[in-house]
Amino acid sequence: MSARFVYWMNVSVDLKIERDLDEAGSGDWMSIDEAIHLVFNARAADLTHMVQGRKVYETMEQYWPAARDDASQPHFAREYGEIWTSTPKTLVSRSRTTAGYNTQIIAENAMERLATLRAESTGDIGVGGADLATQLLHAGLLDELLLFTHPVILGRGRPVFDAHDEPIKLNLLEQAVYPGGVTMQRYAIDYPATAS
């Protein structure tokens, strides 16, 4: 059985992933407290692999390795730092030639190589980055969407996916509501059948 590519993202109610350009996951509109972070940690710890675009990878790289070893950080932040640094990762980038923290780099033929990774792996592979997720969606390789929706309307900003020509149905697999109003929805992507 092959692995599943799961695009995991914090979003606003109007399905924006950032309000301002290069917000890099630090928008003050998100309601991430200890309880939510522990949910993130548990789900991240269950991933067998992570696939990230350069912007997401470099945002993570700048923060989480240092947080892992920083005694002034809360325990859940140190724990996530350990999870991120130790989980096998694939960075999709034409501009990076080196990367640490258990990371391999794919520069060319990314969709073909990611299809091979998916076919030869098991479990859930976390996908980070709207560019990469949109490419996987267009290639028919994205399996699931995991959204943590924060109780805010941003009104502008980057959408969860870039342009896509045709509607794609989703099948709800799981949902939850957390204190503070954050909700979680996990969907399977139901690609339309291709005509033969």
Give tens-digit pLDDT for 184-193: 999 999 998 7
> Which tens digits make up the pLDDT trace of 151-163?
999 999 989 998 7
Confidence of residue 194 (pLDDT cuts 50, 70, 90): low
pLDDT at 26 over 90: no
pLDDT for position 196: 42
Look at domain 4-190 and name its CATH class.
Answer: alpha beta
Q: CB-based burial of residue 22 (10 Å sphere; 0-12 exposed, 13-18 middle, 19+ buried)?
A: exposed
Q: Provide the whole-model pTM.
A: 0.92
Q: Which segments within the chain are labelled E, that is strand? A: 4-12, 16-18, 49-53, 89-92, 103-106, 124-128, 144-150, 158-159, 169-177, 183-190
Q: CB-based burial of residue 119 (10 Å sphere; 0-12 exposed, 13-18 middle, 19+ buried)?
A: exposed
> Which tens digits make up the pLDDT trace of 56-98?
999 999 999 999 999 999 999 999 999 999 999 999 999 999 9
pLDDT, mean of residues 21-37:
79
Q: 28, 20 in Cβ contact below 8 A?
A: no
Residue 131's nearest CA partner among 99, 163, 171 is: 163
Rg (the chain; Cα; Å): 16
